[in-house]
Structure 1
Amino acid sequence: MAKPFVVIPADFRAFDGNVWHAVPHQYVRAAVEGAEVLPLLIPALETGNDPDAILDRVDGVLLSGSRTNVHPSYYSDGEARDLDGPFDIGRDATVMPLVRRALERGIPLLAICRGIQELNVALGGTLASDIQEQPGIWDHRKPDVPELDTAYGIRQTVLVKEGSCLASVLGAGEVRVNSLHRLAISKAAPQLAIEALAEDGTVEAVSVIGAKAFAVGVQWHPEYWVGKDTPSNKLFAAFGEAVRAYADSKAKVTA
């Protein structure tokens, strides 16, 4: 069987006076090596993307992390502050309908970092900014160091809930991860089950209640250590298995 395709929505970024539709290589590499699927990148367009046309051609959705944040207008009545940014309106407009349609159609989904926040907002949840300023909450932000292996170092413990979808992949109890963020889920969407918490109570993983296929979001970065870290490998392998199962079922329908 040919390798199935997964879609990765791009960021809209500016480099040297030009604008690009770009995805960090670590997610592409993890899709190929960890999930054993082939990634397709789609542009971050404010208008013009057709979610169903995209999903007709793929067997999974991978939402990457990013240096940008979901615009507060998607989950709050308050005006966006400069410190809530930077924003990527094109990615927001692309991902929100894509997530909802993927879930409706039963297409496997893995959402990472910004992705878990997009998943929560797409289903009606809210986000909190600069969580490190809240009483009792740790500083989850990326360390300001030049070495990426240090910045993405596995340094934090999360507690995976017994009986959760994630527990069936990683096992229940403590798992060491590399969670790097200053935004986090504030109010979880009604359709989401909280799968894992940091020791300070921050939501670190969710799954979609009643999903027709694998649909998990994690706040940490398993893509970075695929090939070296067992929990990271297990998570991408589970996503890849779900993608292949969906592709196989789709092929049987059209046969």
Structure 2
Amino acid sequence: MGSNASKPVMGLTTYTEKASWGVWHTDAALLPSSYVDSVRNVGGIPVLLPAGDTDVLSAVDALILTGGADVEPHRYGQQPQDKTVTRPERDAFEFALVRAALDRGMPVLGVCRGMQVLNVALGGSLTQHLPDRVGHSEHQPSPGVYGPTHVTLADGSRVAGILGAQTKCQCYHHQAVEELGDGLRAVGWAADGTIEAVELPGADFVVGVQWHPEQDTQEVRLFAALVAACR
């Protein structure tokens, strides 16, 4: 494992996207700095994980599956709809990564897409375009705009123990959990019934949240709990 006893090492999956900096415009393995700052601010060491081999898990103490593009629908037995945008190379890495992390008993936190990866990796499915089901776009109001969402958390759940019975969070998702993966328990819901948090009972720390805790200083409590689970 990668810990130095006082500061656990947190592995964060990255985006492979075209990016621009200085005179360059090329493919990059990148991640919003808000994730890195959130981990640092609670006493963890952030390490970015580009797509590759699952052997990288030997260098970290916990896995954070970050946000990003949609999961390929064929992974849960559906054909892609017109609003579904995927990154197959990222899916291949992250699905292998989450399975390896669960096999190791490693603490895992899934954020937005990361929660969906966790759910589908365990046999669950997704709603490909949430507004078609709930009749509104409040979970993703417009491109680049987060939707403030009130989430009710299940009494006795790990997430409620961290955040309380209710939390107001920043959402940015047009997809959502439809059928739960094997063993997962829904522990958080928006007012429209959308599942906003899941956890794996019996595991030391396997949690998914549909919102973006790295965008809210109050929600870094989730990252702090992940760091604590490594100690």
User: TM-score, normalised to structure 1's length?
Assistant: 0.81
Deviations 1:202-222 (A, max 9, x none): 0000001221x2111000111
Contact 1:7–1:39 (CA under 8 A) maintained in structure 2 = yes
Residue in structure 2 matched with residue 21 of structure 1 by the alignment: 29
From 156, 159, 162, give the equivalent of 2:152. 159
Aligned to 1:75: 76
Deviations 1:214-239 (A, max 9, x none): 1110001111112xx2xx03222111
Which has a greater percent of strand? 2
Query: What is the number of equivalent residue pairs in this alignment?
Result: 223
CA separation in 2, counterparts of 1:8 and 1:225? 18
Amino acid at match of 1:14: K
Are 1:120 and 2:111 matched, yes or no?
A: no
Unaligned runs of 5+ in 1: 246-255
Per the alignment, in what secondary structure is the counterpart of residue 59 of structure 2?
coil
C-alpha distance in 2 between matches for 1:159 and 1:141: 15
* Matches of 1:15 and 1:178, distance apart in 2: 25
Tell me if 1:84 matches 2:84. Answer: yes
- Residue 226 of structure 2 is matched in structure 1 by 239
Give 2:67's match in structure 1, choosing from 59, 65, 68: 65
**By how many angstroms is 1:36 displaced?**
1.6
Pick the aligned partner of 1:219 from 184, 190, 210. 210
CA spacing shift, 1:162–1:25, aligned 2, 3 Å: same
Deviation (angstroms), 1:2: 4.1
Alignment match of 2:8 (pick from 4, 7, 21): 4
Q: CA deviation at 1:43?
A: 1.5
Matched-pair contact (CA < 8 Å) for 2:169–2:216? no
Identity %, equivalent residues: 35
Q: Which runs of structure 2 are paired with 1:175-190 in the superposition (5 Å)?
A: 175-190=167-182
* 1:69-123 CA distance string (max 9 Å, x none): 11111112x33244211x1112101110111111121111111111100110111
Q: Distance in 2 between matches of 1:93 and 1:142?
A: 26
CA distance in 1, matches of 2:202, 2:103: 11
Q: Which residue of 1 aligns with 2:163?
A: 170
Matched, 1:111 2:110: yes
Equivalent AA in structure 1 for residue 177 of structure 2: I
Question: Which amino acid is the alignment partner of residue 11 of structure 1?
Answer: Y
Counterpart residue number, 2:43: 36
1:209 paired to 2:229: no
Q: Which amino acid aligns with 1:239?
A: L
Deviation for aligned residue 1:26: 1.2
Q: Which moved more, 1:136-145 or 1:214-223?
A: 136-145
CA RMSD of aligned residues (A): 1.8
Partners of 2:16 and 2:6 in 1: CA distance: 31
Task: Please name the residue that 2:137 is paired with.
Answer: 139
Indicate if the aligned counterparts of 2:13 and 2:49 stay in contact, CA closer than 8 A.
yes
- Calculate the TM-score normalised by the size of structure 2: 0.89
